[in-house]
Structure 1
Amino acid sequence: MSNPKNYPPSWFSVGMDAWALAAESNMVIAMRMGALAFGGPSALKEAERMVSEKLSANMALGADIVTGKLGHSPEQIMSGSIAHYSRSVTANRRRLGWE
Structure 2
Amino acid sequence: MFKAWMTFAFDAARLGAETQSVIALRMMRLAQGGSGAQREAQLMLTEKNLAFAEAMGTLAVGGSLQKVMRRYRSHVRANRSRLTR
- So what's the TM-score if we normalise by structure 2? 0.92
Q: 1:86 aligns with which of 54, 73, 76?
A: 73
Quote the sequence identity (%).
36
Q: 1:27 aligns with which of 16, 21, 35?
A: 21
Letter in 2 for 1:61: A
What is the aligned partner in structure 1 of residue 34 from structure 2? Answer: 40
Letter in 2 for 1:55: N
CA RMSD of aligned residues (A): 1.2
Higher fraction of helix: 2
What is the aligned partner in structure 2 of residue 67 from structure 1? Answer: 61
Runs of 5+ unmatched residues, structure 1: 1-8, 71-76
Runs of 5+ unmatched residues, structure 2: none
- So what's the TM-score if we normalise by structure 1? 0.80
What is the aligned partner in structure 1 of residue 51 from structure 2? Answer: 57
Matched position secondary structure for 2:47: helix
Preserved CA contact (<8 Å) 2:59 2:65: no
Equivalent residues, number: 83
Deviations 1:35-74 (Å, cap 9, x if unpaired)? Answer: 0001000000000000100100100111111011x2xxxx
What is the aligned partner in structure 2 of residue 3 from structure 1? Answer: none
In the TM superposition, residue 78 of structure 1 has moved relative to its aligned partner by 2.4
CA distance in 2: counterparts of 1:58 and 1:87, whole angstroms: 14
